[in-house]
Amino acid sequence: MNKTVKLYGIIFIIVMLILALLEINKTEVTDWRKNFDVNQKSPFGLFVFNKEVNNLLDKEVKRTELSPYNYYKTNKEKPHNILIIQSEIDFESWKKILETVKSGSDALIIAEDFHPKIADSLRFTPSYVSVRSENVFKLTDEKFSADSIKIDKLPANQGFSRIDKAHEILGKAVLDGGKVNFIKVNFGKGHLYLHTEPLILTNYYLLKPENQKYVQDVFSYLPKRETVWFTESNKAATESQSPLRFILSKPALRFAWWLLLAGLLLFVIFNAKRKQRIVPIIEPLKNKSVEFVKSIGNLYLQEGDFHDMMAKKAQYFLNRVRLDFMIDTQNLDEKFAQTLHLKTGKSIEKINEAIDFIKRGQDPYASVMKEDLVKMNRLLDEILK
Protein backbone atom coordinates (compact mmCIF):
# COMPACT_ATOMS: atom_id res chain seq x y z
CA MET A 1 0.00 0.00 0.00
CA ASN A 2 1.61 3.26 -1.15
CA LYS A 3 1.58 6.56 0.70
CA THR A 4 -1.23 8.06 -1.44
CA VAL A 5 -3.66 5.25 -0.56
CA LYS A 6 -2.79 5.57 3.13
CA LEU A 7 -3.33 9.34 3.01
CA TYR A 8 -6.79 9.00 1.44
CA GLY A 9 -7.68 6.28 3.94
CA ILE A 10 -6.75 8.50 6.89
CA ILE A 11 -8.72 11.45 5.44
CA PHE A 12 -11.75 9.20 4.93
CA ILE A 13 -11.66 7.93 8.52
CA ILE A 14 -11.30 11.47 9.92
CA VAL A 15 -14.25 12.73 7.86
CA MET A 16 -16.41 9.82 9.00
CA LEU A 17 -15.53 10.41 12.65
CA ILE A 18 -16.43 14.10 12.34
CA LEU A 19 -19.77 13.23 10.71
CA ALA A 20 -20.50 10.67 13.42
CA LEU A 21 -19.76 13.16 16.21
CA LEU A 22 -21.92 15.82 14.58
CA GLU A 23 -24.79 13.36 14.20
CA ILE A 24 -24.54 12.16 17.80
CA ASN A 25 -24.38 15.67 19.28
CA LYS A 26 -26.96 17.20 16.96
CA THR A 27 -29.83 18.92 18.74
CA GLU A 28 -33.22 18.44 17.15
CA VAL A 29 -34.80 21.79 16.25
CA THR A 30 -38.52 22.04 16.99
CA ASP A 31 -40.60 23.17 14.04
CA TRP A 32 -43.10 25.72 15.38
CA ARG A 33 -44.64 26.54 12.01
CA LYS A 34 -48.43 26.36 11.81
CA ASN A 35 -48.60 23.66 9.14
CA PHE A 36 -51.89 21.95 10.23
CA ASP A 37 -50.65 18.84 8.41
CA VAL A 38 -52.26 15.50 9.36
CA ASN A 39 -48.93 13.72 8.77
CA GLN A 40 -46.79 16.04 10.90
CA LYS A 41 -45.84 15.27 14.51
CA SER A 42 -44.51 18.81 15.00
CA PRO A 43 -46.28 20.94 17.66
CA PHE A 44 -48.73 22.52 15.23
CA GLY A 45 -49.41 19.48 13.07
CA LEU A 46 -52.67 17.48 13.19
CA PHE A 47 -51.20 13.99 13.58
CA VAL A 48 -52.86 13.30 16.97
CA PHE A 49 -56.20 14.77 15.91
CA ASN A 50 -56.16 12.69 12.73
CA LYS A 51 -55.72 9.53 14.83
CA GLU A 52 -58.41 10.42 17.38
CA VAL A 53 -61.09 12.16 15.30
CA ASN A 54 -63.15 8.97 14.83
CA ASN A 55 -63.35 8.50 18.62
CA LEU A 56 -64.13 12.18 19.06
CA LEU A 57 -67.20 11.98 16.82
CA ASP A 58 -68.18 8.38 17.65
CA LYS A 59 -68.55 7.83 13.92
CA GLU A 60 -66.26 6.96 11.03
CA VAL A 61 -64.95 10.15 9.44
CA LYS A 62 -64.78 10.28 5.66
CA ARG A 63 -61.65 12.13 4.52
CA THR A 64 -61.36 13.71 1.07
CA GLU A 65 -58.62 15.74 -0.56
CA LEU A 66 -61.07 17.25 -3.04
CA SER A 67 -62.24 20.83 -2.63
CA PRO A 68 -65.86 21.18 -1.45
CA TYR A 69 -66.79 22.43 -4.92
CA ASN A 70 -65.37 19.37 -6.71
CA TYR A 71 -66.65 16.97 -4.04
CA TYR A 72 -70.28 18.11 -4.06
CA LYS A 73 -70.27 18.39 -7.84
CA THR A 74 -70.05 14.59 -8.04
CA ASN A 75 -71.44 13.49 -4.64
CA LYS A 76 -75.07 13.99 -3.69
CA GLU A 77 -75.36 12.86 -0.07
CA LYS A 78 -78.02 12.94 2.60
CA PRO A 79 -77.56 15.48 5.43
CA HIS A 80 -74.19 15.00 7.14
CA ASN A 81 -71.48 16.87 9.04
CA ILE A 82 -68.79 18.93 7.32
CA LEU A 83 -65.38 19.51 8.95
CA ILE A 84 -62.85 22.05 7.65
CA ILE A 85 -59.67 23.09 9.52
CA GLN A 86 -57.63 26.18 8.56
CA SER A 87 -58.34 25.94 4.85
CA GLU A 88 -58.28 28.59 2.15
CA ILE A 89 -61.81 27.96 0.86
CA ASP A 90 -62.52 29.47 -2.54
CA PHE A 91 -65.81 31.28 -3.12
CA GLU A 92 -67.29 28.52 -5.33
CA SER A 93 -66.58 25.93 -2.61
CA TRP A 94 -68.20 28.20 -0.03
CA LYS A 95 -71.34 28.33 -2.15
CA LYS A 96 -71.44 24.51 -2.30
CA ILE A 97 -71.00 24.32 1.49
CA LEU A 98 -73.87 26.75 2.06
CA GLU A 99 -76.10 24.84 -0.37
CA THR A 100 -75.38 21.62 1.52
CA VAL A 101 -75.98 23.24 4.93
CA LYS A 102 -79.20 24.80 3.70
CA SER A 103 -80.43 21.28 2.86
CA GLY A 104 -79.89 20.08 6.45
CA SER A 105 -76.17 19.44 6.93
CA ASP A 106 -74.04 20.98 9.71
CA ALA A 107 -70.58 22.46 9.12
CA LEU A 108 -67.85 22.98 11.72
CA ILE A 109 -65.23 25.33 10.29
CA ILE A 110 -62.22 26.12 12.47
CA ALA A 111 -60.05 28.76 10.81
CA GLU A 112 -58.28 32.03 11.56
CA ASP A 113 -60.14 33.86 8.81
CA PHE A 114 -63.18 33.55 6.55
CA HIS A 115 -63.98 34.65 3.00
CA PRO A 116 -65.07 38.34 3.08
CA LYS A 117 -68.09 37.78 0.83
CA ILE A 118 -69.32 34.90 2.99
CA ALA A 119 -68.77 36.85 6.21
CA ASP A 120 -70.73 39.74 4.74
CA SER A 121 -73.63 37.56 3.54
CA LEU A 122 -73.85 35.73 6.88
CA ARG A 123 -73.65 39.04 8.77
CA PHE A 124 -70.55 38.66 10.90
CA THR A 125 -67.14 40.36 10.86
CA PRO A 126 -63.97 38.36 11.61
CA SER A 127 -61.18 40.56 12.93
CA TYR A 128 -58.00 40.77 15.00
CA VAL A 129 -59.31 41.22 18.55
CA SER A 130 -56.27 40.86 20.82
CA VAL A 131 -52.52 41.40 21.14
CA ARG A 132 -52.00 38.92 23.97
CA SER A 133 -49.35 36.22 23.79
CA GLU A 134 -51.72 33.80 25.53
CA ASN A 135 -55.43 33.39 26.14
CA VAL A 136 -58.02 31.11 27.72
CA PHE A 137 -61.11 29.95 25.83
CA LYS A 138 -64.36 28.81 27.42
CA LEU A 139 -67.80 27.89 26.09
CA THR A 140 -70.90 29.83 27.09
CA ASP A 141 -73.08 26.79 27.82
CA GLU A 142 -73.33 26.25 31.60
CA LYS A 143 -72.83 22.50 31.29
CA PHE A 144 -69.35 23.18 29.87
CA SER A 145 -68.41 25.85 32.44
CA ALA A 146 -65.71 23.69 34.05
CA ASP A 147 -63.90 23.10 30.74
CA SER A 148 -61.42 25.48 29.13
CA ILE A 149 -58.27 25.55 27.03
CA LYS A 150 -55.22 27.78 27.47
CA ILE A 151 -53.54 28.93 24.25
CA ASP A 152 -50.04 29.96 25.32
CA LYS A 153 -48.08 29.46 22.10
CA LEU A 154 -48.61 31.70 19.05
CA PRO A 155 -52.36 32.34 19.39
CA ALA A 156 -54.15 33.64 16.30
CA ASN A 157 -55.95 36.29 18.41
CA GLN A 158 -58.78 36.27 15.89
CA GLY A 159 -62.45 36.65 16.75
CA PHE A 160 -65.72 38.23 15.70
CA SER A 161 -66.13 41.97 16.22
CA ARG A 162 -69.67 42.27 14.80
CA ILE A 163 -72.26 39.50 14.93
CA ASP A 164 -75.88 39.45 13.83
CA LYS A 165 -78.29 39.18 16.76
CA ALA A 166 -79.77 36.02 15.25
CA HIS A 167 -76.45 34.19 15.66
CA GLU A 168 -75.73 32.27 18.86
CA ILE A 169 -72.49 32.91 20.76
CA LEU A 170 -70.99 29.58 21.81
CA GLY A 171 -67.52 30.55 23.05
CA LYS A 172 -65.42 33.46 24.25
CA ALA A 173 -61.84 34.43 25.14
CA VAL A 174 -61.77 34.88 28.92
CA LEU A 175 -58.69 37.13 29.17
CA ASP A 176 -59.95 39.60 26.57
CA GLY A 177 -63.11 40.69 28.31
CA GLY A 178 -65.23 38.07 26.63
CA LYS A 179 -64.26 38.53 22.98
CA VAL A 180 -66.30 36.10 20.88
CA ASN A 181 -64.41 33.35 19.06
CA PHE A 182 -67.06 30.62 18.51
CA ILE A 183 -70.53 31.20 17.01
CA LYS A 184 -73.46 29.25 15.61
CA VAL A 185 -75.17 30.49 12.44
CA ASN A 186 -78.54 29.02 11.51
CA PHE A 187 -78.78 28.60 7.75
CA GLY A 188 -81.79 26.96 6.13
CA LYS A 189 -82.30 23.51 7.65
CA GLY A 190 -78.71 23.29 8.92
CA HIS A 191 -76.15 25.16 10.98
CA LEU A 192 -72.68 26.62 10.61
CA TYR A 193 -70.34 26.41 13.62
CA LEU A 194 -67.45 28.86 13.20
CA HIS A 195 -64.39 28.84 15.50
CA THR A 196 -61.41 31.19 15.00
CA GLU A 197 -58.57 29.23 16.67
CA PRO A 198 -57.44 26.08 14.79
CA LEU A 199 -54.53 25.61 17.23
CA ILE A 200 -56.94 23.84 19.63
CA LEU A 201 -56.69 20.74 17.39
CA THR A 202 -52.90 20.64 17.05
CA ASN A 203 -50.55 18.11 18.66
CA TYR A 204 -49.16 20.60 21.17
CA TYR A 205 -52.54 21.30 22.77
CA LEU A 206 -54.31 17.95 22.28
CA LEU A 207 -51.55 16.09 24.11
CA LYS A 208 -52.32 18.07 27.27
CA PRO A 209 -55.07 16.17 29.17
CA GLU A 210 -56.61 19.38 30.57
CA ASN A 211 -57.40 20.60 27.04
CA GLN A 212 -59.10 17.50 25.68
CA LYS A 213 -62.47 18.11 27.33
CA TYR A 214 -62.80 21.54 25.69
CA VAL A 215 -62.21 20.02 22.23
CA GLN A 216 -64.78 17.29 22.96
CA ASP A 217 -67.28 20.00 23.95
CA VAL A 218 -66.71 21.89 20.69
CA PHE A 219 -67.36 18.77 18.62
CA SER A 220 -70.39 17.81 20.72
CA TYR A 221 -72.43 20.42 18.83
CA LEU A 222 -72.29 18.23 15.72
CA PRO A 223 -75.01 15.53 15.42
CA LYS A 224 -73.89 11.89 15.59
CA ARG A 225 -73.86 11.08 11.88
CA GLU A 226 -71.40 10.77 9.01
CA THR A 227 -68.75 13.51 8.87
CA VAL A 228 -66.88 14.55 5.73
CA TRP A 229 -63.50 16.10 6.52
CA PHE A 230 -61.98 18.17 3.71
CA THR A 231 -58.25 17.61 4.22
CA GLU A 232 -57.07 19.34 1.03
CA SER A 233 -55.18 22.03 2.98
CA ASN A 234 -54.13 19.68 5.79
CA LYS A 235 -51.54 17.78 3.77
CA ALA A 236 -48.25 19.08 2.44
CA ALA A 237 -48.98 19.64 -1.24
CA THR A 238 -45.38 19.34 -2.36
CA GLU A 239 -44.25 16.62 0.03
CA SER A 240 -42.36 13.95 -1.84
CA GLN A 241 -42.78 10.31 -0.80
CA SER A 242 -39.61 9.28 -2.63
CA PRO A 243 -37.17 6.71 -1.20
CA LEU A 244 -34.60 9.49 -0.66
CA ARG A 245 -37.01 11.46 1.56
CA PHE A 246 -37.62 8.30 3.60
CA ILE A 247 -33.87 7.71 3.97
CA LEU A 248 -33.22 11.31 5.05
CA SER A 249 -36.08 11.17 7.57
CA LYS A 250 -34.37 8.35 9.55
CA PRO A 251 -31.20 9.36 11.46
CA ALA A 252 -29.43 6.02 11.00
CA LEU A 253 -30.22 5.80 7.28
CA ARG A 254 -29.33 9.45 6.81
CA PHE A 255 -25.89 8.88 8.37
CA ALA A 256 -25.33 5.82 6.16
CA TRP A 257 -26.34 7.85 3.11
CA TRP A 258 -23.82 10.61 3.84
CA LEU A 259 -21.19 7.96 4.56
CA LEU A 260 -21.82 6.41 1.15
CA LEU A 261 -21.61 9.77 -0.62
CA ALA A 262 -18.37 10.69 1.14
CA GLY A 263 -16.84 7.34 0.19
CA LEU A 264 -17.88 7.73 -3.45
CA LEU A 265 -16.44 11.25 -3.55
CA LEU A 266 -13.06 10.10 -2.25
CA PHE A 267 -13.09 7.16 -4.68
CA VAL A 268 -13.72 9.48 -7.63
CA ILE A 269 -10.99 11.90 -6.52
CA PHE A 270 -8.47 9.07 -6.03
CA ASN A 271 -9.23 7.42 -9.39
CA ALA A 272 -9.26 10.72 -11.25
CA LYS A 273 -5.70 11.48 -10.12
CA ARG A 274 -4.53 8.00 -11.21
CA LYS A 275 -6.35 7.50 -14.52
CA GLN A 276 -7.06 10.90 -16.03
CA ARG A 277 -5.32 11.34 -19.38
CA ILE A 278 -3.17 14.35 -20.14
CA VAL A 279 -5.29 16.81 -22.05
CA PRO A 280 -3.31 18.53 -24.81
CA ILE A 281 -3.36 22.32 -24.84
CA ILE A 282 -4.79 23.57 -28.12
CA GLU A 283 -3.93 27.16 -28.83
CA PRO A 284 -6.97 29.18 -30.00
CA LEU A 285 -6.86 30.61 -33.49
CA LYS A 286 -5.43 34.11 -33.52
CA ASN A 287 -7.53 37.01 -34.76
CA LYS A 288 -5.53 38.45 -37.67
CA SER A 289 -8.20 40.85 -38.89
CA VAL A 290 -6.14 43.89 -37.87
CA GLU A 291 -3.07 42.61 -39.73
CA PHE A 292 -5.22 41.99 -42.78
CA VAL A 293 -6.61 45.52 -42.74
CA LYS A 294 -3.11 46.95 -42.36
CA SER A 295 -1.92 44.91 -45.33
CA ILE A 296 -4.76 46.22 -47.50
CA GLY A 297 -3.98 49.78 -46.38
CA ASN A 298 -0.31 49.36 -47.24
CA LEU A 299 -1.25 48.11 -50.71
CA TYR A 300 -3.30 51.23 -51.30
CA LEU A 301 -0.44 53.45 -50.12
CA GLN A 302 2.02 51.63 -52.37
CA GLU A 303 -0.29 52.11 -55.35
CA GLY A 304 -0.44 55.84 -54.53
CA ASP A 305 -4.11 56.24 -55.59
CA PHE A 306 -4.95 58.85 -52.94
CA HIS A 307 -8.06 60.04 -54.78
CA ASP A 308 -9.66 56.55 -54.68
CA MET A 309 -8.86 56.24 -50.97
CA MET A 310 -10.45 59.65 -50.30
CA ALA A 311 -13.59 58.55 -52.18
CA LYS A 312 -13.85 55.35 -50.12
CA LYS A 313 -13.26 57.24 -46.86
CA ALA A 314 -15.98 59.74 -47.84
CA GLN A 315 -18.37 56.89 -48.66
CA TYR A 316 -17.67 55.18 -45.31
CA PHE A 317 -18.12 58.45 -43.41
CA LEU A 318 -21.48 59.26 -45.03
CA ASN A 319 -22.72 55.72 -44.36
CA ARG A 320 -21.85 56.12 -40.66
CA VAL A 321 -23.66 59.48 -40.56
CA ARG A 322 -26.81 57.88 -41.97
CA LEU A 323 -26.72 54.94 -39.54
CA ASP A 324 -25.53 56.65 -36.36
CA PHE A 325 -27.15 60.07 -36.65
CA MET A 326 -30.09 59.31 -38.98
CA ILE A 327 -29.17 62.25 -41.26
CA ASP A 328 -29.96 62.29 -44.98
CA THR A 329 -26.67 62.58 -46.94
CA GLN A 330 -28.19 63.10 -50.38
CA ASN A 331 -27.40 66.82 -50.38
CA LEU A 332 -24.26 68.04 -48.64
CA ASP A 333 -25.64 71.55 -48.25
CA GLU A 334 -25.89 74.10 -45.43
CA LYS A 335 -28.86 72.24 -43.87
CA PHE A 336 -26.81 69.03 -43.75
CA ALA A 337 -23.89 70.86 -42.16
CA GLN A 338 -26.10 72.47 -39.51
CA THR A 339 -27.82 69.16 -38.61
CA LEU A 340 -24.49 67.33 -38.31
CA HIS A 341 -23.12 70.19 -36.20
CA LEU A 342 -26.07 69.89 -33.77
CA LYS A 343 -25.90 66.11 -33.48
CA THR A 344 -22.13 65.76 -33.11
CA GLY A 345 -21.38 68.95 -31.19
CA LYS A 346 -18.43 69.67 -33.49
CA SER A 347 -17.80 73.21 -34.69
CA ILE A 348 -19.46 74.34 -37.93
CA GLU A 349 -16.03 75.24 -39.32
CA LYS A 350 -14.82 71.63 -38.97
CA ILE A 351 -18.06 70.33 -40.49
CA ASN A 352 -17.73 72.61 -43.54
CA GLU A 353 -14.07 71.67 -43.96
CA ALA A 354 -15.02 67.97 -43.86
CA ILE A 355 -17.73 68.56 -46.49
CA ASP A 356 -15.16 70.18 -48.78
CA PHE A 357 -12.88 67.14 -48.46
CA ILE A 358 -15.81 64.77 -49.14
CA LYS A 359 -16.80 66.69 -52.27
CA ARG A 360 -13.19 66.58 -53.52
CA GLY A 361 -13.13 62.84 -52.93
CA GLN A 362 -16.39 62.44 -54.86
CA ASP A 363 -15.14 64.61 -57.77
CA PRO A 364 -13.31 62.28 -60.21
CA TYR A 365 -11.40 65.22 -61.73
CA ALA A 366 -10.20 66.75 -58.46
CA SER A 367 -6.47 66.73 -57.79
CA VAL A 368 -5.54 65.45 -54.31
CA MET A 369 -2.29 64.88 -52.48
CA LYS A 370 -1.26 62.46 -49.73
CA GLU A 371 -1.44 65.31 -47.21
CA ASP A 372 -5.09 65.92 -48.19
CA LEU A 373 -5.91 62.25 -47.53
CA VAL A 374 -4.20 62.29 -44.12
CA LYS A 375 -5.93 65.52 -43.06
CA MET A 376 -9.34 64.31 -44.29
CA ASN A 377 -8.96 60.99 -42.49
CA ARG A 378 -8.06 62.69 -39.19
CA LEU A 379 -10.90 65.23 -39.53
CA LEU A 380 -13.64 62.68 -40.34
CA ASP A 381 -12.55 60.36 -37.52
CA GLU A 382 -12.65 63.28 -35.09
CA ILE A 383 -16.24 64.13 -36.11
CA LEU A 384 -17.38 60.52 -35.63
CA LYS A 385 -15.94 60.21 -32.12
Which residue, among 154, 302, 285, 138, has the nearest Cα to 213 in the 3D structure?
138
Between the two ends of the chain, the Cα-to-Cα distance in Å is: 70
**For the chain, what's the residue count?**
385
Q: Which pLDDT does position 306 carry in this prediction? A: 77
Instruction: Return the higher-pLDDT residue of 10 and 50.
Output: 50
Percent of the chain at pLDDT > 90 equals: 39
* Structure confidence at residue 235 as a pLDDT band (50, 70, 90): low
Residue 82 has pLDDT above 90, yes or no: yes
Q: Which pLDDT does position 237 carry in this prediction? A: 43
Amino acid at 315: Q
Q: Which pLDDT does position 307 carry in this prediction? A: 82
Q: Which pLDDT does position 240 carry in this prediction? A: 47
pLDDT digits (tens, 9 = 90+) for 139-149: 999 999 999 99
Residue 292 has pLDDT above 60, yes or no: no
Q: Which residues contact 224 (CB under 8 A, 6 or more apart)?
A: 57, 58, 59
* Structure confidence at residue 189 as a pLDDT band (50, 70, 90): very high
Residue 103 has pLDDT above 70, yes or no: yes
Q: Which pLDDT does position 11 carry in this prediction? A: 74
* Structure confidence at residue 61 as a pLDDT band (50, 70, 90): very high
Average pLDDT over residues 60-88: 91
Lowest mean pLDDT among 62-76, 169-183, 269-283: 269-283
Instruction: Catalogue the long-range contacts made by 46-55 (C-beta closer than 8 Å, 24 or more residues apart).
Output: 46/85, 46/201, 46/202, 46/203, 46/234, 47/203, 48/203, 48/206, 48/207, 49/201, 49/202, 49/203, 49/206, 52/206, 53/83, 53/229
Instruction: Return the higher-pLDDT residue of 267 and 364.
Output: 364
Supply the CATH classification number for the domain 47-234.
Answer: 3.40.50.880
**Bridge partners for 187 per DSSP:** 190
pLDDT digits (tens, 9 = 90+) for 341-358: 898 888 999 999 988 988
Average pLDDT over residues 85-108: 93
pLDDT digits (tens, 9 = 90+) for 200-222: 999 999 999 999 999 999 999 99
**Distance separating alpha carbons of residues 114 and 86, to the nearest angstrom:** 9
Q: Which pLDDT does position 24 carry in this prediction? A: 62
Instruction: Return the higher-pLDDT residue of 221 and 385.
Output: 221
Residue 264 has pLDDT above 80, yes or no: no
Instruction: Return the higher-pLDDT residue of 288 and 183.
Output: 183
Average pLDDT over residues 286-301: 60
Q: Which residues contact 214 (CB under 8 A, 6 or more apart)?
A: 137, 138, 139, 144, 147, 148, 149, 200
Q: Which residues contact 262 (CB under 8 A, 6 or more apart)?
A: 12, 15, 16, 19
Which residues in the chain are classed under CATH 3.40.50.880?
47-234
Q: pTM for the whole thing?
A: 0.59
Residue 241 has pLDDT above 60, yes or no: no
Q: Helix/strand/coil (H, E, C) string of 282-313?
A: CCCCCCCHHHHHHHHHHHHHHHCCHHHHHHHH
Residue 55 has pLDDT above 60, yes or no: yes
Q: Which pLDDT does position 238 carry in this prediction? A: 42
* Structure confidence at residue 275 as a pLDDT band (50, 70, 90): low
Q: Which pLDDT does position 273 carry in this prediction? A: 57
Instruction: Return the higher-pLDDT residue of 169 and 308.
Output: 169
